[in-house]
A and B are shown apart, each in its own frame.
Chain A
């Protein structure tokens, strides 16, 4: 039973480019959460999605960041026009139902040059 999968594991972008991070939840899980871990900081909640719906995006920066979880395929976290401050580890977690245990993926380490 595969766990949460994220790809790529490492992503390098130059300032101004776009970054696309993918998350495939565990089988049977329809709830996805994205968190960001900055150096020397704890994980910070970004966005909570259910299939085709954004439930809570209170942790998302107002500009350049967007997320989706389509009916088919993985959840995507998209960062447009990346800046050096976007360099971080981005983790997604999935749960079977709302309020159920969240299982984390291995993360995507984004480096902006």
Chain B
């Protein structure tokens, strides 16, 4: 059983389109991180959200943490080929010794 479910698993869109990817769980997390991973590299942190209902913006990327701190979404506006990559969400549960639980990721391809 995957603790964090990400959807969709694969997404292929044209440059300029908008998209949203989701990260859902039945568990409550004290914080949730979004990472982007490129082939052959390690995950690179994009954002951390800690408060239920929190919205953070990073240029064309908007991250939202659900009110109950069980889910999150990442919205990209006017996607560009440079946005191509594997987007991972990872949650930290209270009392878990700070270990991160990862979803399987959404593989995004933005075609020129």
**Interfacial residues, chain A to chain B (CB-CB below 8 A):** 4, 6, 31, 33, 35, 40-45, 48, 55-56, 58-59, 91, 93, 95, 98-99, 101-107, 109
User: Are B45 and A42 in contact, with the CB atoms below 8 A?
Assistant: no
- Can you list 22 A-B pairs, Cβ within 8 angstroms, ordered by A? A33-B98, A35-B100, A40-B104, A42-B103, A42-B105, A43-B100, A44-B102, A45-B100, A45-B101, A48-B97, A58-B99, A93-B42, A101-B48, A102-B98, A104-B35, A104-B42, A104-B43, A104-B45, A106-B41, A106-B42, A107-B40, A107-B41
Majority SS at the chain A contact face: strand
CB of B99 within 8 A of CB of A104, answer no
With beta carbons under 8 angstroms apart, the residue of B43, B44, B48, B98 that contacts A43 is B43
Q: Do A42 and B88 touch (CB < 8 A)?
A: yes
- Say how far B41's CB is from chain A's closest CB, in angstroms: 5
Contacts of A105 in B (CB 8 A): 42
Shortest CB-to-CB span from B88 to chain A, Å, is 7
Q: CB within 8 A of B99: which of A41, A45, A109?
A: A45
User: Total contacts A to B, CB within 8 angstroms?
Assistant: 61
Q: With contacts A45-B101, A91-B42 known, what are 17 further pairs, Cβ within 8 A?
A: A33-B99, A35-B102, A42-B2, A42-B104, A45-B99, A45-B100, A98-B98, A101-B33, A101-B48, A102-B45, A102-B98, A103-B45, A104-B35, A104-B43, A106-B41, A107-B41, A107-B42
Contacts of B98 in A (CB 8 A): 31, 33, 48, 95, 98-99, 102
Q: How many of chain B's residues touch chain A, expressed as a range?
A: 20 to 34
In the bound complex, CA of A26 to CA of B105 (Å): 26
CB nearest to B96 among chain A residues: A56
Contacts of B97 in A (CB 8 A): 48, 55-56
Give, as a whole number of angstroms, the nearest-CB distance from B112 to chain A. 27
